[in-house]
Structure 1
Amino acid sequence: MQEDLLNDFGDEFGIDARYTDLDEMLSKEKPDLLHIVTAPVLRGSNKRIRYPLMNQASEHGVPAVIVEKPVAVESEDWRQISELAERTKTKFVVNTQLNFHPQNLALKRDVAEGKIGAIKFIEASARNPPVDQAPHVLQLVSSYIDNSRPAKVQGQISGAEQLDSAQPSPANATALVTYANGVQVSVAFGPEMAPRVLPDTGNNRHKRVCVFGEKGFVHWRFESWERNLPGSGYEGGDLNYGAQDVIAQGGLTDAVFNWLDDESKEHPTHLKQSLAEFNLLLGIYYSGLTNTVVELPFDPPDGMIDMFRERL
């Protein structure tokens, strides 16, 4: 949309086909897969732009779209995108690629194969603000429990300093979530709520999930991992996040094409699943605002950012 940035990018990477209009680009290029990598809020304004761009792609009949997280920022755009999910033929996927990190996949296989026994409890956290990293963490939790949907939540929120950012949200949030399969999960987001787990890292390098079973546990972190299994005992090590993430991003993209080729191979971060996880985040917010347990899924009220401004 900004020609100077467009031309600098095109020159740097040798791209001749350049567009400042999305409709023109989609009409001429007819992509099989589109990436929407914008922030959810237009810089310098309060305009939410996830839904308009997704709707444009849907109207053009783009077969598949990868959307950056968060898929929404508040109730209004979550509701718009939920309506889109019911009518579109486009296969939308949210770019929560941690699901595909090789070491995370290995730990998930341990859990799926029953090596830690039945899941007793899950604890997960991220130290950046909730709407920034909760989508990653909540998707990781879902991936360890076969995408069971959240059933109820009690949460708490604090901090107003992120309300005017490109991804507006409370600065901190914590909650206890009960899922439909009976598993309970403790989550914490934000610099004041996420636990310090050694080796300590910067806020943006803190994303983690720990799954406790009857016989052992697995623990994936941004730059390290550990597990304790019957027979093999304790193991752990460091991770090169960049090297893992390149593979993960490729894996997420390959899975989109697999879904296009075979309807039975539904993508693990497909839109309706991601919307259920964002509804959980909205439930955490609303529980914190009202001091109540919120049954999920729920219909969140409009104007939650204004509620945050008043309360926080």
Structure 2
Amino acid sequence: SLYKDYREMFAREKPDLVHLNTPPNIRLEVLEAAESAGVSAVIMEKPLAIQGEDYLAIKEFCQGSKVKVAINHQLHFHPRRFELQKIVEDGNLGEMRFITAGCGMNLAFQGTHTLQAIGAFHPKGKPQRVFGQISGAGSETHRVDVCGTFPTMVVGNLEDTPQKHFAPGCAQAIIDFDDGVQALLQSGEIAPKVGREAINTHKYVTVYGSKGHVRWTMWSWEVLVDGKSQGGTHEYWDEDILGQARMTEAMLDWIGDDRAVHPLCFDRAHLDFNIILAIYMSGLQNRMVDLPVEPELNLINKMRAALS
């Protein structure tokens, strides 16, 4: 059935699980309606927020609600990336040294995917502080890859668009972890172009250890351990179908068993967005910022004023 009112859909269909794929500015009201309707769980599109105000409001809701919330970072469950995460988890790279990760679009569109990738390959590391640089307030027009079609899209950055994905067009940050590992995050124009022509095809993560490295991009993979290398290619959209399904299955497992906490649950995901807010503050204030940070308010307008 098709509905014009999601509240009516909640009342009539009584879903156990809802995929929430709205612009960021109305997600809290849908979460509240889901709780009122008795929905068990919600998988919410990234980013979970845009700036400090909605981040704090959604955090307060999730930490006081019975609804189980996860963020749609389905790349965690892509078969190839999951295999590479297991290689690192099993210690095959030896002592972890450094992580680089990047994306072609801004931090609101793809930056949380990139931060989640860093955390997925280094789940035991606790971020301690971040130093960030930001630039670019104006909108850009790009081609995007949508399941093999290539429409043109206006990426607003700090200007208003229907997507409401406000963020600086370009960002770079160094993240310090408590175990001495550092991670380099690059977003937007400064990020390496590792994909195809479309702007949304350049997500990647590389993990370096004392015995070698692993590298994942949306289209390829590479493992080098003790001087022996292997690698290959994959089609992102083929991987994505499986990743979305496995992410959803993990949520159904969590609905049925409170102990089967989803790897992308809000309690973990909000820490990544806290880093993004700290990057904004670091870029505006020209200083390192300790983590987790109590976010400043009105960050989007402050960045508009500073970067326009």
TM-score (norm 1): 0.88
Name the SS of the counterpart of 1:65 in structure 2.
strand
User: In the alignment, which residue of structure 2 is the partner of 1:4?
Assistant: none
User: In the alignment, which residue of structure 2 is the partner of 1:145?
Assistant: 122
Deviations 1:187-230 (A, max 9, x none): 00002x10234x66432100000000010100000101111012
Contact 2:192 2:202 in 1 (8 A): no
Name the SS of the counterpart of 2:206 in structure 1.
strand
Q: Does 1:195 align with 2:172?
A: no
In the TM superposition, residue 52 of structure 1 has moved relative to its aligned partner by 1.2
Please list, as runs of the form range in 1=range in 2, the aligned pairs for 1:204-243 lying within 5 A after superposition.
204-230=200-226, 233-243=228-238
Report the number of matched residues: 286
User: In the alignment, which residue of structure 2 is the partner of 1:127?
Assistant: 104
Q: Hey, what's the Cα distance between the residues in 2 that align with 1:181 and 1:247?
A: 33
Q: Are the structure 2 counterparts of residues 72 and 59 from structure 1 closer, same or farther at C-alpha, using a change threshold of 3 Å?
A: same
In the TM superposition, residue 85 of structure 1 has moved relative to its aligned partner by 1.6
Name the SS of the counterpart of 2:248 in structure 1.
helix
Q: Does 1:167 align with 2:162?
A: no
Name the SS of the counterpart of 1:49 in structure 2.
helix
Name the SS of the counterpart of 2:70 in structure 1.
strand
Deviations 1:97-117 (A, max 9, x none): 000011101111111111111
In the TM superposition, residue 183 of structure 1 has moved relative to its aligned partner by 2.1
Q: Are the structure 2 counterparts of residues 254 and 87 from structure 1 closer, same or farther at C-alpha, using a change threshold of 3 Å?
A: same
Name the SS of the counterpart of 1:163 in structure 2.
coil
Name the SS of the counterpart of 1:115 in structure 2.
coil
Seq. identity, %: 37
2:261 partner letter: E
User: In the alignment, which residue of structure 1 is the partner of 2:278?
Assistant: 283
Q: Does 1:37 align with 2:34?
A: no
1:65 partner letter: V
Point out where structure 2 has 5 or more consecutive residues left out of the alignment: 139-156
Q: Are the structure 2 counterparts of residues 61 and 182 from structure 1 closer, same or farther at C-alpha, using a change threshold of 3 Å?
A: farther
TM-score (norm 2): 0.89
Q: Hey, what's the Cα distance between the residues in 1 that align with 2:224 and 2:108?
A: 31
Q: Which moved more, 1:240-249 or 1:59-68?
A: 59-68
Point out where structure 1 has 5 or more consecutive residues left out of the alignment: 1-16, 41-47
Contact 1:115 1:230 in 2 (8 A): no
Name the SS of the counterpart of 1:140 in structure 2.
helix
Q: Hey, what's the Cα distance between the residues in 2 that align with 1:77 and 1:203?
A: 27
Q: Hey, what's the Cα distance between the residues in 2 that align with 1:248 and 1:169?
A: 26
Q: Does 1:185 align with 2:183?
A: yes
Q: Are the structure 2 counterparts of residues 279 and 67 from structure 1 closer, same or farther at C-alpha, using a change threshold of 3 Å?
A: same
Give the alignment partner of residue 55 of structure 2, picking from 67, 78, 87: 78
Q: Hey, what's the Cα distance between the residues in 2 that align with 1:171 and 1:145?
A: 27
User: In the alignment, which residue of structure 2 is the partner of 1:306?
Assistant: 301
Name the SS of the counterpart of 2:304 in structure 1.
helix
Name the SS of the counterpart of 1:307 in structure 2.
helix
Q: Are the structure 2 counterparts of residues 63 and 215 from structure 1 closer, same or farther at C-alpha, using a change threshold of 3 Å?
A: same
Q: Hey, what's the Cα distance between the residues in 2 that align with 1:147 and 1:57?
A: 32
Deviations 1:242-274 (A, max 9, x none): 111111000000000111122222111111211
Deviations 1:20-79 (A, max 9, x none): 222221112110101111122xxxxxxx21211112112222101111111111111101
User: In the alignment, which residue of structure 2 is the partner of 1:12?
Assistant: none
